């Protein structure tokens, strides 16, 4: 008996069905992984900016400020939304605003994708003292994505940064607007 070579139509359709299912399932999985990677990068960048501002305040003996920016020019914005980016600078004149005489340390341009970063209310700017601490109470940032669990990034008065899953009550910080 002669053995035929090749595949049958049923085998070909079965293989195509498997490939189609894999392609349909891949985007949400890949998208979720990409979002988690972006969230980790934002957390690392914010931590880097905090440490840079804190260490510069100690080294220079002058106050350093970390503040959210709005869209456009690198200036401090009012409010608790840090999604458009942030500035770290040495505040030479002590007015907590970025002026021509101040030294820019870092400008993070804005969050990638559909990520949002909000701080708790009451601290629109973080001011690092020459002793290394920052005035005020602990500050909590909530980092949100579309498909990932929100992350809390907590800055203590002694400029220590820690990250942990956000409490369910922080879900309100993730809402647009």
Check which CATH number belongs to the domain holding 140 and give it.
Answer: 3.55.40.10
Question: What is the number of structural domains in the chain?
Answer: 1
Q: What is the pLDDT of residue 177?
A: 56
Residue 3 domain-assigned (yes or no): no
Mean pLDDT of 8-18: 84
CA proximity to 81, closest of 95, 67, 91, 92:
67
Edge-to-edge strand ranges of the sheet holding 64-68: 103-108, 86-90, 64-68, 126-128
User: Is pTM, for the whole model, over 0.85?
Assistant: no
Residue 123 to residues 112, 114, 118, 135, Cα–Cα distance (Å): 24, 24, 11, 10
Residue 48 domain-assigned (yes or no): yes
Query: What are the beta bridge partners of residue 116?
Result: 144
Residue 7 domain-assigned (yes or no): no
Residue 6 domain-assigned (yes or no): no
CA proximity to 103, closest of 44, 50, 62, 46:
62
Mean pLDDT of 83-110: 92
Question: Is residue 86 within 8 Å of residue 63, measured between CB atoms?
Answer: no
| Residue 176 binned pLDDT confidence (cut-offs 50, 70, 90) | low
Residue 166 domain-assigned (yes or no): yes
Residue 4 domain-assigned (yes or no): no
Query: What are the beta bridge partners of residue 7?
Result: none
* 18 compared with 104, residue with greater pLDDT: 104
Lowest average pLDDT, out of 135-144, 149-158, 164-173, goes to 164-173
Over 90: is that where the pLDDT of 142 sits? yes
Q: What is the pLDDT of residue 23?
A: 73
Residue 112 domain-assigned (yes or no): yes
Give the domain extent around 19.
14-174
Tokens, residue 123: 């601290």
Residue 144 domain-assigned (yes or no): yes
């Amino acid at each position: 008996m002669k053995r035929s070579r090749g595949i049958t139509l049923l085998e070909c359709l079965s293989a195509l069905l498997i490939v189609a299912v894999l392609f349909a399932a891949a985007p949400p999985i890949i998208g979720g992984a990409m979002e988690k990677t972006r969230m980790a990068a934002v957390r690392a960048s914010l931590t880097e900016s905090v440490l840079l501002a804190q260490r510069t305040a100690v080294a220079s003996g002058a106050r350093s400020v970390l503040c959210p920016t709005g869209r456009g020019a690198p200036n401090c914005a009012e409010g608790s939304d840090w999604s458009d980016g942030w500035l770290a600078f040495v505040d030479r004149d002590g007015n907590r605003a970025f002026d021509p005489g101040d030294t820019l340390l870092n400008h993070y341009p804005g969050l990638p994708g559909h990520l949002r970063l909000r701080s708790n209310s009451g601290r629109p700017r973080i001011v690092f003292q020459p002793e290394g601490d920052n005035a005020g109470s602990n500050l909590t940032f909530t980092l949100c994505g579309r498909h990932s669990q929100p992350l809390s990034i907590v800055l203590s008065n002694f400029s220590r940064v820690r990250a942990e899953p956000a409490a369910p009550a922080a879900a309100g910080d993730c809402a647009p607007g």
